[in-house]
């Protein structure tokens, strides 16, 4: 047991280190910008005095190293600074803190929305993918297998927005089942919220399921040649029982790994899908901020996305170690 | 919620029909092996396939409907079906021709080729042809705004089309057909250049790490690890923000920096592969022989390692191209990719996106039951005209990536001889 804890702690430390370096990369990228934030807010016509005052207010006159650690410590405490697009010249003329809208305020509700979307997708996609994978392995080389193969290959290779528009066309235009725009507000009843989130969640499911399903199928088929599977078959077990009771537990390690990796992919895939469905999540905020060049928000979103991505990859890593005795007890 | 319930009911009905099909088959044919040994999944598959074929035929028939609203709604489906049949037939003929003409070697190659691979190859050839000769094929220039705005696709005057603009025009009056053709040149061409650049960067660094080993290898690998820890689309968007600020609205600069940014981000993946393949080759005896001969770094890299790493790198090139192509399309779709005077598929999808949302009104019950006068007042006809506008470029993107994937699948299958 001690060794598992050790391994997990080791991986966590490694993940933390990676995140630290990633934050450094993000900060360095943003620091290489031409001009300063103050110019960006005040525009071309600003007087040098105004720019200097603004720089002082934002702490931009300090050296880069100080600014980096300031930003990092505040970010760790959940304070990502002030959003540029919200803060205009007038609010800065007085004081920075009381009128400007903080990035954390904008981010928090949207982060919850994105988590809801990702959670719903995972809740649909994981069982569907594993079931389909088991079925495809069970009926391998049948028509069912071939059709799912072509279908998954096409859905892996299509762009996300194509899938989204095809689903909108079929489920909300030609047959009006579901709304094509996701309206989400605070205090919305759960049922209504579920209905409004279902179409984006289904689109993401289509994209994520394909990969998970193919890996489940491959992992199970890989095991079917082993002697113990043949033994189970010779005992006269039904093919479904052979796969579910004997092959699946041993194939669990790669499957769990792929699921975690796909959830990490989900974090990226969410950006385009949220834009298509106008879903008020963190991905949409990110794209909007990129377009309006709202640097603090872009920085914060980037850090959140990177953290989620690193965390999920970490989980995949740890799970694959825990589920594999050979990795758990290295010689 | 009603949507979810009807989906579940639909699946249950299909399952019941499949069970019934198998049962009736067994009863009427006196338990012939075909039905006796049929698994439930196969029966289910047959029913789903039958429903799919029926739906396709229904949609195809709908596109010839006399009602312009219906005809325009299904125009995209019509294009999809016609394009699919066209490519499938051409792929079949292409393979047949390859089997009959040519040397015995090439004939053997074509005999072993599955139809999906031949479909992929012919699709890629058609795309390449269109991309190279776009200037001659397109009826209008990509940045010229000709004719009326929002002309319906199809070229049929009864359904609001114009024979001069086969796929209609967009809201600024640009000819869609020309823009789609030029899109092949811009989107595919830029993706190709980006992939080449990514392979040049990643391949060189990867081989360098493999040959040099030691601290060079460690430093490069750890740096690449950090870059790969950031999700690629997010990283691309972050760097594009900075490029947008540098560019100050200069479209050429934005496009150029996008090429560079995506190439750098994707070269990390190429680096991993090149290093892995390269370090397997570096330990071979012939590399040692070359080193003992006193050959330089460049000679070992390009004359000894590269020729032996071609097969995996080529397959990776196909897959990388797909990723790069999709990333560029996504960035353009989000509005920070290829910029305005150049026509490209990603931004065409974004420009046309609201037509799909408009179309939603047609599905409402009260619109279906409304009389002519209300319909005319709502201008429904105009609303539905261009639902196919965002879908045509999106389908063009999907078709190319599917085609490349088919070919790569076949190449991997051939080189490794791997079975399922």
What's the mean pLDDT in A114-121? Answer: 88
C-alpha B238/C-alpha B247 separation (Å) is: 14
Q: Which residues contact A156 (CB under 8 A, 6 or more apart)?
A: A207, A210, A211, A214, B405
DSSP B4-59: HHHHHHHHHHHHHHHHHHHHHHHHHTTS-HHHHT--HHHHHHHHHHHHHHHHHHHH
Query: For residue A194, which phi and psi values (nearest 5 degrees)?
Result: -60, -45
Let me know if A207 is exposed, middle or buried by CB neighbors in 10 A (0-12, 13-18, 19+).
buried
Is the pLDDT score of B59 beyond 60? yes
C-alpha A182/C-alpha A198 separation (Å) is: 9
Q: How confident is the model at residue A93 (pLDDT cuts 50, 70, 90)?
A: very low
C-alpha A99/C-alpha A201 separation (Å) is: 36
> Which pLDDT does position A20 carry in this prediction?
85
Contacts of A144 in chain B (CB under 8 A): 41-42, 44-45
C-alpha B50/C-alpha B398 separation (Å) is: 24
**C-beta atoms of B242 and A33 within 8 A:** yes
What's the mean pLDDT in B26-30? Answer: 83
Q: How confident is the model at residue B195 (pLDDT cuts 50, 70, 90)?
A: very high
> Which pLDDT does position B271 carry in this prediction?
92
Q: What is the DSSP letter of B151?
A: P
Which residue reads 């809740």 in tokens?
A: A123
Contacts of A143 in chain B (CB under 8 A): 42, 45-46, 49
Predicted TM-score (pTM) of the model is 0.82
CB atoms within 10 A of CB A223: 18
Q: Is there a contact between B53 and B84 (Cβ–Cβ < 8 Å)?
A: no
Is the pLDDT score of A69 beyond 90? no
- pLDDT-wise least confident of A15-29, A79-93, B77-91, B305-319: A79-93
The three-point CA angle B395-B399-B405 to 5° equals 145
Two structure tokens written together for B176: 């869609």
Side-chain half-sphere exposure of A222, counting CA atoms within 13 A: 14
What's the mean pLDDT in A200-217? Answer: 86
Nearest-neighbour CA in chain B from A323: distance (Å) = 23
> Which pLDDT does position A89 carry in this prediction?
42
Contacts of A150 in chain B (CB under 8 A): 116
Q: Is there a contact between B266 and B232 (Cβ–Cβ < 8 Å)?
A: yes
pLDDT tens, residue by residue, B134-150: 888 877 777 777 666 66
Side-chain half-sphere exposure of A43, counting CA atoms within 13 A: 4
A-B interface: how many C-beta pairs under 8 angstroms?
Answer: 193
C-alpha B170/C-alpha B129 separation (Å) is: 25
Q: Is there a contact between A205 and A124 (Cβ–Cβ < 8 Å)?
A: yes
Nearest to B405 among A30, A157, A160 (CB): A157
Is the pLDDT score of A91 beyond 50? no
- pLDDT-wise least confident of A17-26, B2-11, B195-204, B400-409: B2-11
Q: Which residues contact A147 (CB under 8 A, 6 or more apart)?
A: B45, B48, B49
Nearest to A202 by CA among A275, A277, A111, A125: A125
Q: How confident is the model at residue A19 (pLDDT cuts 50, 70, 90)?
A: confident
What does each C-alpha distance from B355 to B161, B182, B390 come to in angstroms?
16, 22, 8
**C-beta atoms of B406 and A153 within 8 A:** yes
Mean pLDDT of all residues in chain B? 81
Reduce the DSSP state of residue B253 to 3 states and report it: helix
Nearest-neighbour CA in chain B from A135: distance (Å) = 8
Nearest to B334 among A154, A169, A287 (CB): A287
**C-beta atoms of A165 and B353 within 8 A:** yes
**C-beta atoms of B230 and A22 within 8 A:** yes
Percentage of residues of chain A with pLDDT beyond 70? 80
CB atoms within 10 A of CB B99: 15
**C-beta atoms of B364 and A162 within 8 A:** no
Residue of chain A with shortest Cα separation from B242: A33
Q: How confident is the model at residue A94 (pLDDT cuts 50, 70, 90)?
A: very low
> Which pLDDT does position B420 carry in this prediction?
40
**C-beta atoms of B76 and A169 within 8 A:** yes
Reduce the DSSP state of residue B165 to 3 states and report it: strand
C-alpha B312/C-alpha B6 separation (Å) is: 47
What's the mean pLDDT in B82-111? Answer: 84
Let me know if B336 is exposed, middle or buried by CB neighbors in 10 A (0-12, 13-18, 19+).
buried
Q: Is there a contact between B212 and B287 (Cβ–Cβ < 8 Å)?
A: no
Looking at per-residue confidence, does A69 or B326 come out higher?
Answer: B326
What's the mean pLDDT in B215-231? Answer: 85
> Which pLDDT does position B192 carry in this prediction?
92
Q: How confident is the model at residue B241 (pLDDT cuts 50, 70, 90)?
A: confident
C-alpha A96/C-alpha A79 separation (Å) is: 14
A60-74, B33-47, B155-169: range with highest mean pLDDT: B33-47
Q: How confident is the model at residue B355 (pLDDT cuts 50, 70, 90)?
A: confident
Reduce the DSSP state of residue B324 to 3 states and report it: helix
Contacts of A141 in chain B (CB under 8 A): 420
Measure CA B13 to chain center: 34
ipTM reported for the complex, 2 dp? 0.79
Two structure tokens written together for B267: 């070269």
Reduce the DSSP state of residue A154 to 3 states and report it: helix
Percentage of residues of chain B with pLDDT beyond 90? 9
Contacts of A114 in chain B (CB under 8 A): none
CB atoms within 10 A of CB A100: 20
- pLDDT-wise least confident of A261-275, A314-328, B265-279: A314-328
């Amino acid at each position: 047991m001690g060794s598992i804890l050790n391994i997990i702690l080791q991986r966590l430390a490694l993940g933390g280190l990676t995140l630290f370096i990633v934050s450094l990369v993000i900060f360095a990228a943003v620091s290489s910008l031409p001009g300063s934030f103050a110019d960006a807010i005040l525009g071309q016509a600003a007087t040098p005095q105004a720019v200097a005052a603004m720089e002082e207010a934002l702490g931009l006159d300090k050296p880069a190293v100080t600014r980096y650690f300031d930003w990092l410590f505040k970010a760790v405490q959940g304070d990502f600074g002030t959003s540029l697009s919200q803060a205009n010249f007038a609010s800065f003329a007085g004081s920075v803190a009381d009128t400007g809208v903080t990035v954390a305020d904008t981010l928090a509700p949207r982060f919850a929305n994105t988590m809801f979307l990702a959670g719903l997708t995972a809740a649909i996609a994981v069982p569907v993918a594993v079931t389909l994978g088991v079925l495809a392995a069970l009926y391998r080389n049948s028509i069912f297998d071939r059709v799912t193969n072509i279908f998954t290959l096409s859905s892996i290779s299509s762009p996300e927005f194509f899938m989204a528009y095809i689903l909108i066309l079929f489920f909300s235009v030609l047959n009006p089942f579901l709304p094509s725009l996701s309206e989400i507000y605070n205090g919305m009843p759960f049922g209504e919220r579920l209905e409004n989130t279902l179409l984006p969640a289904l689109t993401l499911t289509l994209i994520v399921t394909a990969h998970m399903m193919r890996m489940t199928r491959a992992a199970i088929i890989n095991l079917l040649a082993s002697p113990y599977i043949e033994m189970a078959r010779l005992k006269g077990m039904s093919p479904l029982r052979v796969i579910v009771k004997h092959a699946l537990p041993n194939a669990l390690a790669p499957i769990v790994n792929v699921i975690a990796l796909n959830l990490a992919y989900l974090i990226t895939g969410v950006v385009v899908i949220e834009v298509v469905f106008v879903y008020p999540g963190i991905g949409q905020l990110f794209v909007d901020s990129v377009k309006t060049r709202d640097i603090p928000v872009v920085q914060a979103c980037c850090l959140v996305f990177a953290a989620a991505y690193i965390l999920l990859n970490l989980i995949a890593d740890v799970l694959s170690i825990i589920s594999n005795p050979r990795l758990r007890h290295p010689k | 919620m009603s949507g979810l319930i009807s989906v579940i009911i639909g699946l249950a009905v299909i399952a019941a029909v499949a069970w019934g099909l198998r049962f009736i088959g067994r009863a009427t044919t006196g338990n012939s092996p075909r039905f006796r040994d049929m698994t439930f999944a196969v029966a289910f598959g047959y029913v789903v396939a039958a429903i799919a074929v029926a739906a396709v035929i229904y949609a195809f028939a709908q596109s010839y409907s006399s009602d312009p609203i219906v005809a325009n709604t299904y125009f995209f489906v019509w294009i999809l079906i016609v394009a699919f049949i066209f490519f499938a037939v051409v792929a079949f003929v292409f393979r047949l021709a390859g089997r009959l003409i040519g040397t015995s070697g090439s004939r053997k190659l074509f005999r072993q080729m599955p139809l999906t691979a031949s479909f992929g190859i012919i699709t890629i050839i058609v795309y390449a042809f269109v991309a190279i000769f776009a200037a001659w094929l397109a009826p209008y220039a990509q940045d010229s705004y000709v004719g009326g705005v929002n002309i319906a696709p199809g070229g049929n005057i009864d359904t609001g089309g114009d024979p001069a603009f086969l796929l209609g025009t967009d809201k600024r009056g640009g000819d869609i057909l020309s823009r789609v053709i030029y899109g092949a040149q811009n989107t595919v061409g830029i993706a190709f250049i980006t992939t080449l650049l990514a392979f040049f960067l990643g391949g060189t660094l990867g081989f360098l790490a493999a040959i040099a080993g030691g601290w060079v290898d460690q430093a490069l690998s750890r740096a690449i690890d950090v870059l790969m820890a950031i999700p690629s689309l997010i990283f691309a968007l972050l760097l594009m923000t900075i490029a947008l600020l540098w560019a100050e609205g200069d479209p050429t600069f934005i496009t150029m920096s996008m090429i560079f940014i995506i190439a750098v981000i994707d070269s990390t993946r190429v680096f991993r592969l090149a290093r892995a393949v390269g370090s397997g080759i570096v330990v071979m005896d012939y590399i040692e022989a070359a080193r003992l001969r006193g050959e330089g770094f460049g000679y070992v890299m390009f004359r000894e390692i590269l020729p032996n790493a071609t097969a995996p790198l080529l397959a990776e090139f196909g897959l990388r191209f797909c990723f790069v192509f999709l990333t560029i399309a996504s960035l353009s779709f989000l509005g920070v990719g290829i910029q305005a005077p150049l026509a490209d598929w990603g931004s065409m999808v974004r420009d046309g996106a609201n037509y799909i949302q408009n179309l939603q009104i047609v599905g409402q019950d009260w619109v279906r039951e409304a009389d002519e006068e209300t319909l005319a007042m709502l201008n429904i006809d105009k609303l539905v005209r261009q639902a196919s506008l965002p879908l045509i470029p999106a389908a063009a993107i999907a078709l190319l990536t599917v085609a490349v994937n088919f070919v790569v699948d076949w190449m991997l299958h051939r080189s490794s001889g791997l079975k399922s």
